[in-house]
């Protein structure tokens, strides 16, 4: 498996082995599981209580905005911690520092935008 196409063959072989493992696992599960359906088992389950009401519930859009803001800060942390460890090594200078300040500026602009729109006020 040397050469240019050897690497692709290895990746293809790993994909085939992985897909085979998943297929064998699902087949073994289907063959070994107990299968005794009853009307009680087919009924919906809601925290130990009988289901009540319809299956449709509306959520306020504010929760999606909070989730989006969380993702912004999570991605910010994912980039800041590795950057801090790499920046401590010799050979990284002002360019790396400037790139991180540009990134932090974009994140800060997003936070200021959310603050000006009133998203960060708790209701």
pLDDT tens digits along 58-91: 777 777 777 877 887 888 888 777 777 777 677 7
Say whether 18 sits in a helix, a strand or coil: helix
List the domain boundaries for the chain: 61-116
For residue range 99-119, what is the model confidence (pLDDT) as tens digits? 888 888 988 888 888 888 877
Helix, strand and coil content of the chain, in percent to the nearest 5, comes to 65, 0, 30
Tally DSSP H helices, then E strands, for the chain.
Answer: 4, 0
Note the residue count of the chain: 123
Contact 117, 79 (CB under 8 A): no
Positive or negative, the Cα torsion across 42, 45, 50, 52? Answer: negative
Instruction: For residue 89, give both structure tokens.
Output: 């090594």
Tokens representing 95 are 């360019």
Mean pLDDT, rounded, for 29-47: 82
Pairwise pLDDT comparison (18 vs 69), residue with the higher score: 18
pTM confidence score? 0.43
User: Three-state SS for 51?
Assistant: coil
CB-based contacts of 15, cutoff 8 Å, min separation 6 = none
Distances (CA, A) of 60 to 36, 63, 115, 119, 123: 40, 6, 18, 13, 12
């Amino acid at each position: 498996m040397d050469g240019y196409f050897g690497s692709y063959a290895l990746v293809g072989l790993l994909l085939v082995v992985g897909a085979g493992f998943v297929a064998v696992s699902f087949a073994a599960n289907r063959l070994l599981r107990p299968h005794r359906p009853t009307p009680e088992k087919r009924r919906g389950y809601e925290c130990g209580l009988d289901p009540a009401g319809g299956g449709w519930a509306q959520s306020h859009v504010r929760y999606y905005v909070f989730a989006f803001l969380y993702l912004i800060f999570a991605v910010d942390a994912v980039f800041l911690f590795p950057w801090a460890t790499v920046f401590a090594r010799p050979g990284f200078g002002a360019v790396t520092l400037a790139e991180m300040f540009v990134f932090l500026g974009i994140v800060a602009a997003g936070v200021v935008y959310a603050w000006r729109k009133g998203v960060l006020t708790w209701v």
